[in-house]
Structure 1
Amino acid sequence: MPSSGSYVAVGSKIYVMGRSCFEVSSNALTLIDCPLHTANHHLPNMPRAVASSVSGYINEKIYVIGGCRSRFPVFSEGPMDVMVFDVKSETWESKTRPDNLVFDWYSNSAVTWDDKIYFRVLKHGFVYDPSQDKMEKEDMLKSYYWVGSECVIEGVLYYYSAASKILRSYDLKERCWKRVKSEIGLSGTTRARTVTYDKKVVVFFEKDIDRNKVELWCAEIKLERDEQGEICARLDWCGCVFEGHSRLMNCLVLKV
């Protein structure tokens, strides 16, 4: 699976949009059926090829937002594209390109909340409203490096910083960042990805054992509010779930 593609979970299936190999971008769409362990590469291609993108699933439609035509140079930019895939009819639709907005190849990530897509790229943060086909800048979103390691619970974005050993939160309605009160320090973490399950924050993270071995750990974190209404985090469980040569690229929650 491409590290630069964007992924969306729909029930027990995963849709993979776009990819790039060296300087070649792709408009490919792949459907992975997890219970059947199959991959369908024969779905309709995206209207335009992009080397990097973000995506969100709203009202049985997948919205793919991208722009770069090349991965090189790393900090390349391109005009932003919005493409919509109807999962029932298996058809694509192109939206109007937002004027004067560019999409970076590097450091892209997105969450969906209140039928809107919130995403950040290297230099900017954006909010896309599909109901109005409207894109707005929200640069507070890019204040921290939450790329690839985020989830949303009750209108609050959470991500665990492997570098700082801190769980941070961003209130999508109030548009402000806060550090979650906790004593959680996941030692030895080299890379982390965050998802939500059963109203908990679940962090998957790597530990390098040696040059040929990596351990994949999982931490379940319960969220509560104190008397002042501040969000507090408590570690419910933590343990090693896999060891081998694989690297952690992405995490999705599926119904199987």
Structure 2
Amino acid sequence: MFSSSSSSSSSSIRTSSHHEPPALNLIPSLPDDVALNCLARLPRSQHPTLSLVSKSIRSLLSTPLFFNSRSLLQCTQHVLYLTLRSHGSSLLWLTLHQNPLNSANPNLLVPVPPIPSPSVGSAYAVIGHMIYVIGGSINDIPSSHVWVLDCRFNKWQPGPSMRVGREFAAAGVIDGKIYVMGGCVADTWARSTNWAEVLDPATGRWSTVPSPVEVREKWMHASAVVDDKFYAMADRGGVAYDTRNRVWESVGSELDTGWRGRACVINGILYCYDYLGHIKGFEVKQGLWRELKGLDDVLPRFLCGATMANVGGNLLVVWEGIGGGKEIEIWCAEIVVKKDEDGELSGKICWSGKVHSVPKGSSIVHCSAVAL
């Protein structure tokens, strides 16, 4: 598969319209397609050093060809993107840079270009190397706009607008399509009809998802996709949408009462952080919550603003720590989660530490993991 794609690597590199074309002979004495095969396998932590080797390699690292080759070789790695709110409506976008060779600061959040039109209460969805930022209010008016961050090059571009404006909507990705629901008052025909929508990125079009009247009165505070079902927790009873059978369902009482705050899904288990300071996992098929054990002596008792993401099968938790003076600290911990034969959940810390400092009054908005 790769050889057929890389056979035209030289011409693809030469004709890149977005970057200065690198010279041939990426690695002396090796054909360019073989050199590309080798370079694409190196971990992302080595890319900054790799870019210093030559101008041609530095240019290669910023081409679609390089990222496509990593994907074909199954050498992609999951990268964390974090959104922070600072000074009212100002949004900071950062990505986690991991450099094991830097013993002083092996894990740091580094800034990426800010979203062109920041809003409050946007929904987020990830497809491939793209982060979709959906709706949100601008000057207290719900927006239908969508912005898309191409994480390969950290560049923003406008996406297809929704049929109605939304703020604090629920969003999830199933079979490569983005589903959104809620975030609007169903007080008009358009808002009622389009209370739930789905975007097909292949066509760039939003379509209406028919929804019963009783669910349109709900306001969402959290969402996740588990076993191809879109779960959205509401202020008065959560709902689930089976996209394959196009059926709406109510959420069981165990999930409804136990899900608090932001969550993520790993191996079919939904993890969230509760107000008592516990990370818990919920198995939908069993309808049972279990505490993630083994972290009591490692993590702080309470994780303020805790946000979670599935980073390559590991649970990455981000929270706000107490800083000095006029700053607060942003901390991260990467956790390997396991389920034993009795169904008990346990976690082991891979690493944990401070990754950034921000002015007091800032808060964590969202985090996403993207494969690059």
Per the normalisation by structure 2, the TM-score is 0.61
1:9 offset after TM fit, Å? 1.0
Find the residue that maps to 1:158 and give its secondary structure: strand
Q: d(CA) in 2 for partners of 1:151 and 1:18?
A: 21
Identify the range of structure 1 (229-238 vs 181-190) with the bigger mean alpha-carbon deviation.
Answer: 181-190
Displacement, 1:212? 2.1
- What is the aligned-residue RMSD (CA, Å)? 2.3
Contact 1:25/1:69 (<8 A) preserved:
no
Among 161, 164, 168, the alignment partner of 1:45 is 161
Please give the alpha-carbon distance, in whole angstroms, between the structure 1 residues aligned to 2:235 and 2:138.
20
SS at match of 2:307: strand
1:208 aligns with 2:290: no
Checking the alignment, whether the CA contact within 8 Å between 1:160 and 1:203 is kept in structure 2 is no
Q: Is the 8 A contact 1:67 1:103 kept in 2?
A: no
Quote the offset at 1:192 in angstroms. Answer: 0.7
Check 1:101–1:69 CA distance in 2 against 1; reply closer, same or farther (3 A cut): closer
Residue 123, structure 1, aligned to residue 236, structure 2: yes
| 1:89 matched to 2:206 | no
Partners of 1:7 and 1:33 in 2: CA distance: 14
Match of 1:35 in 2: 152
Partner of 2:245: 132
Aligned pairs (5 A) from 1:4-153: 4-21=121-138, 23-41=140-158, 43-69=159-185, 81-105=195-219, 108-140=221-253, 141-147=255-261, 149-153=262-266
Specify which structure has the higher proportion of helix.
2
Which stretch has the larger CA shift, 30-39 or 175-184?
Answer: 175-184
Structure 1 116/211 Cα, relative in aligned 2: closer, same or farther at 3 Å? farther
Identity %: 26
Counterpart for residue 234 of structure 1: 348
SS at match of 2:285: coil
Could you say which structure has the larger radius of gyration?
A: 2
User: Per-residue deviation at 1:145?
Assistant: 4.6
AA in 2 matched with 1:248 = I
2:277 maps to amino acid: K
Alignment match, 1:74: none
> What does the per-residue CA deviation read over 1:61-99, in whole Å, with 9 as the maximum and x for residues that have no partner?
1111114249xxxxxxx9581101110110111121323
The residue matched to 1:100 in structure 2 has which SS?
Answer: helix
Whose strand proportion is higher, 1 or 2?
1
Please say if residues 277 and 302 of structure 2, whose CA atoms lie closer than 8 Å, have aligned partners that are also in contact. Answer: no
CA gap of 1:229–1:132, structure 2 versus 1, over 3 A, is closer
User: Given residue 120 of structure 1, which amino acid in structure 2 is its aligned partner?
Assistant: M
CA contact (8 A) 1:51 1:69 kept: no
Taking structure 1 as the reference length, the TM-score comes to 0.86
The residue type paired with residue 168 of structure 1 is K
2:305 and 2:238 mapped to 1: Cα distance?
Answer: 23
> What letter matches 1:133 in structure 2?
R
Which of 281, 285, 291 is the matching residue for 1:169? 281
Q: How many residues align?
A: 245
Counterparts in 2 of 1:183 and 1:115: CA distance versus 1, 3 Å:
closer
What secondary structure, in the 3-state scheme, does the structure 2 residue paired with 1:248 have? strand
More deviation in 9-18 or 240-249?
Answer: 240-249
Q: In structure 1, how many angstroms separate the alpha carbons of the residues matched to 2:270 and 2:320?
A: 22
In the alignment, what sits opposite 1:190? Answer: 304
Q: Which AA in structure 2 matches 1:7?
A: Y
Flag structure 1 segments of 5+ consecutive residues without an equivalent. 71-77
Paired residues of 2:215 and 2:239 also in contact (CA < 8 A): no
Question: Are the equivalent residues in 2 in contact too, given 1:3–1:19 (CA < 8 A)?
Answer: yes
Q: CA offset at residue 216 of structure 1? A: 0.9
In structure 2, do the counterparts of structure 1 residues 176 and 2 end up closer, same or farther at CA, with 3 Å as the change threshold?
farther
Q: Compute the displacement of 1:22 (Å).
A: 5.2
Tell me the CA shift for residue 14 of structure 1.
0.7
Deviation for aligned residue 1:103: 4.5
Distance in 1, Cα, partners of 2:343 & 2:185: 45
Q: Work out the CA distance in 2 between the residues paired with 1:211 and 1:101.
A: 46
